[in-house]
Amino acid sequence: MNVSIVGSGYVGTTVAACLADAGHRVTNVDIDDSIVKAINDGESPIHEPGLADLLAEHGGHGVIATTDYEDILDTDLTLLALPTPSNEDGSIDTSILEAAAESLGETLAGKDDSHVVVVKSTTVPGVVEERIAPTIAEAADAELGVDIHVATNPEFLREGSAVEDFRSPDRIVIGTDSELAGKRLDTLYDPVIAAAEDDVPLVHTGTREAMMIKYASNAFLAAKVSLINELGVICKAYGVDSYEVAEALGFDDRIGAKFLRSGVGWGGSCFPKDTDALVAAARDRGIDPMVLDAVKERNDSQPAHLLALLDEHVDVAGKRVAVLGLSFKPGTDDTRNSRAVPVIEKLRDRGADIIAYDPVAVKDMRERYPEVEFTAADSAGEALDGAHAALVVTEWDEFAALDEEFDRMAEPIVVDGRRIISRRDGIVYEGITW
The residues assigned a catalytic role are: 270
State in angstroms the smallest separation of the CB of 374 from ligand UDX. Answer: 19
416-425 burial, b for 16+ CB within 10 Å, e for fewer?
bbbbbbeeee
State in angstroms the smallest separation of the CB of 359 from ligand UDX. Answer: 16
Name the residue nearer to ligand UDX (CB basis): 45 or 417: 417
Residue 189 is a binding residue for ligand UDX (CB under 6 A): no
Question: Which parts of 328-347 interact with ligand UDX (CB under 6 A)?
Answer: 328-329
State in angstroms the smallest separation of the CB of 166 from ligand UDX. Answer: 11
Which is it for the CA torsion 123, 94, 49, 302, positive or negative? Answer: negative
Name the residue nearer to ligand UDX (CB basis): 45 or 330: 330
Name the residue nearer to ligand UDX (CB basis): 178 or 335: 335
Distance, CA of 265 to CA of 180 (rounded, Å): 43
State in angstroms the smallest separation of the CB of 128 from ligand UDX. Answer: 18
Name the residue nearer to ligand UDX (CB basis): 155 or 353: 155
Distance, CA of 390 to CA of 351 (rounded, Å): 15
Q: Is 401 helix (H, G, I), strand (E, B) or coil?
A: coil
- Count CA within 13 A, CB hemisphere, residue 381: 6
**Residue 254 dihedral angles phi and psi, to the nearest 5°:** -70, -20
DSSP 158: P
Residue 215 is a binding residue for ligand UDX (CB under 6 A): no
Name the residue nearer to ligand UDX (CB basis): 69 or 357: 357
Site string for ligand UDX, 249-288 (x = CB under 6 A): ----------xxx-x--xxx-xx-----------------
Distance, CA of 233 to CA of 189 (rounded, Å): 43
State in angstroms the smallest separation of the CB of 6 from ligand UDX. Answer: 19
Which is it for the CA torsion 106, 107, 108, 112, positive or negative? Answer: positive
Residue 157 is a binding residue for ligand UDX (CB under 6 A): yes
Identity (one letter) of the amino acid at 147?
D
Residue 225 is a binding residue for ligand UDX (CB under 6 A): yes
Total residues binding ligand UDX (CB under 6 A): 19
Q: Is 116 helix (H, G, I), strand (E, B) or coil?
A: strand
- Position closest to ligand UDX via CB: 270
Work out the burial of residue 181: count CB atoms within 10 Å of its CB; fewer than 13 is exposed, 13-18 middle, 19 or more buried: buried
Residues binding ligand UDX (CB under 6 A): 155-159, 218, 221, 225, 259-261, 263, 266-268, 270-271, 328-329
